[in-house]
Amino acid sequence: MDSKKWLDLVTKHLVGRRIVKVEWLEPSESQRIHGWYSQPCEIFLDDGTILTPSADDEGNEAGAIFTNKEELSCIPVFREGA
């Protein structure tokens, strides 16, 4: 994997963007769109980009987001009924 290539691509598309909305994917949409049983927190950017955390790069399941904030060390994944 060419990490420099990926860093340049991610930088091009994400640096300077502004978060305009955050919401959890609805259970029915999570299942319909991705085939997932869990619901991730989606991050909406000002240019229409939606960031959806996944457990891996194959999209096998919803993923949590870890942060460096003491009060918000992890943005969790929800599972309906759990």
Q: Which amino acid does the sequence have at 53?
A: P
Considering the entire predicted model, what is its pTM?
0.87
Residue with the two structure tokens 């691509």: 9
- Please report where in the chains the tokens 């290539």 appear, as a residue: 5
Q: How far apart are the C-alpha atoms of 26 and 40, rounded to whole Å?
A: 9
Tens digit of pLDDT for each residue in 13-46? 999 999 999 999 999 999 999 999 999 999 999 9
